Amino acid sequence: MKLREALHKYEEIQKRSKKEMAKLSQEYTKRVEHMILDILKLLQELKEKEIPKKVDPRLARIVKMERETYVRALQNMVGKIKDIEDVEKILPEISRLHVAHGRHLLLTFEKDVYKINNLLKSLSNEYANYVSEIEKLQPKEIMAEKLLKEIQDFKKHINEEEQKLKDLVEMLSELNERKKKLEESSEFIALQENERKLKKEISREELNLRSKVSKLQKPIKRMRLPDNRAREFLKDSAYALEHPHEFLELLEEISDKLDKKYQNTIEWTRKNIPTKTQKLKELKRQLAGVEIELSRFKTEEESLHKSIEKLRQKINKKEEKIKSLKEELQKIEKQLEESLLELEEIIGEKIEY
């Protein structure tokens, strides 16, 4: 049998069951109505009954108050019962009343209270029987139709998420391609190579100059000059490269006081420092220009890198979401299988799904 036919047959079974349950409810309601009348009658008799004269007057007053409370409370409770379903709501109140009603009332009107209690117990039993019969008549609730709708919604949602994932993957591919083209562009490569060469040449020139002028640190240190230029040079030989004019002035002032073995170094310094530092200045100017040009490429490269990383994170989250949705879908499909087995048991036929 097709699933749609099976669900239609199940609806018909439900309709028949509802009719039978309504009929059963009416039957039990009539029985309950008779029982309530009997209870109200017994309560009225208890209310009107004379308290035995042998009861102590003080005790009689207590019994009278307990009786009034008991009768009034029970009349109000059973008065709320309009049909069999109302019994369920009242039974807990009745149980609490049984516990709370006075012991003096029970001792004085023992038989009357027991008669009422027996009827109340019968009322409770009647409701229990009703519930038992209703459960037999009521078919198990089948969630197949609802689960089918959930499965359709889940599949639609998964398809939408998978399309979004596909779009993200395409975007990632485009960004990777842009980054690759940028990094492989001849201009970018040439600028990087030029930067590397200039840095290497600057480092070599600085190292050579510092190596030459540093030979003068030892003799100048021995002179203990109270000169700021000398102090700065002794701290770092790079002073001579950064302040060539001041350093040459210092050499002019102290050259005749230095040993002859340092004269060659002094002469080399006088001759080469101006041109070498000028050359360094020019190299650094060129490097600064290259780095400015290069920064455009590096800024774009970094921006693409960040965009790619963010996109990868989005893709990972989307993949996790799809995985979670598919796991949830499997659970619902399992519930549907169980629901269909229950439906097959109810209608007594195999279902094609």
At 233-257, the pLDDT tens digits run: 899 899 999 899 998 998 888 888 8
Residues 14 and 125 in one domain: yes
Q: Are residues 196 and 250 in the same domain?
A: yes
Please tell me which of 94-103, 228-237, 250-259 the model is most confident about, judged by mean pLDDT. 228-237
Share of the chain above pLDDT 90, in %: 51
Structure tokens that stand for 220 in this block: 């100048």
Question: Does the model's pTM come out above 0.85?
Answer: no
- Determine contact, residues 199/287, Cβ cutoff 8 Å: yes
**Nearest residue to 273 via CA among 232, 294, 305, 243:** 243
Average confidence (pLDDT) over 283-293: 94
Residues 221 and 271 in one domain: yes
Looking at every residue in the chain, the average pLDDT score rounds to 89
Is residue 71 one of the residues assigned to a domain? yes
Determine whether 212 is exposed, middle or buried from the number of CB atoms within 10 Å of its CB (0-12, 13-18, 19+): middle
User: Mean pLDDT over residues 172-198, rounded?
Assistant: 95
Check pLDDT > 70 for residue 201.
Answer: yes
* Position 99 confidence tier, pLDDT thresholds 50, 70, 90: low
- Is 352 contained in some domain? no
Where among 108, 139, 170 does a domain terminate?
139
Mean pLDDT of all residues in 34-50: 92
117, 205: one domain: no
Which of 14-18, 74-78, 93-97, 179-183 has the lowest average pLDDT?
93-97
* CA pseudo-torsion sign 241, 246, 252, 253: negative
Confidence band, pLDDT 50/70/90 cuts, at residue 353: low
106 and 127, same domain (yes or no): yes
Position 353 in a domain:
no
Same structural domain, 107 and 171: no
- How confident is the model over 202-213, as a mean pLDDT? 91
The answer, yes or no, to whether residue 329 has pLDDT greater than 90, is yes
Q: Are residues 217 and 135 in the same domain?
A: no
Q: 100 falls in which pLDDT band (50, 70, 90)?
A: low
Alpha-carbon distance of 32 to 88, in angstroms, equals 12
Among 113, 139, 165, residue at a domain's last position: 139
Residue 101 scores a pLDDT above 70: no
Q: Taking residues 218-223, what's their average pLDDT?
A: 88
**256 shares a domain with 174:** yes
Across 179-189, average pLDDT: 94
* Banded pLDDT at 318 (limits 50, 70, 90): very high
Cα 257–Cα 278–Cα 190 angle in degrees, nearest 5:
145
State the maximum Cα–Cα separation within the chain, in Å, rounded to a whole number.
Answer: 148
Residue 281 lies in a domain: yes
Domain boundary among 139, 170, 204: 139
* Tokens of residue 110, six digits: 């023992």
Q: Which domain holds residue 120?
A: 3-139
Q: Which of 85-89, 213-217, 259-263, 312-316 has the lowest mean pLDDT?
A: 259-263
In a domain, residue 11? The reply is yes
User: Do residue 153 and residue 131 come from a single domain?
Assistant: no
Q: Residues 174, 71: one domain?
A: no
Contact 349, 6 (CB under 8 A): yes
2 has a pLDDT exceeding 90: no
**Does residue 94 form part of some domain?**
yes
In a domain, 164, yes or no: yes
What is the CB neighbour count within 10 angstroms for residue 228? 10
Q: Are 166 and 348 in contact (CB under 8 A)?
A: no
The Cβ of residue 272 has, within 10 Å, a number of other Cβ atoms equal to 15
The total number of structural domains in the chain stands at 2
How far apart, in Å, are the Cα atoms of 277 and each of 204, 241, 270, 272, 352? 13, 6, 12, 8, 92
Burial code of 301-323, b = ≥16 C-beta within 10 A, e = fewer?
beebeeebeebeeebeebeeebe
**Residue 80 and residue 119 in one domain:** yes
Say whether both 332 and 187 belong to one domain.
Answer: yes
Region 214-221 average pLDDT: 89
Cα(26)–Cα(14) distance, integer angstroms: 18
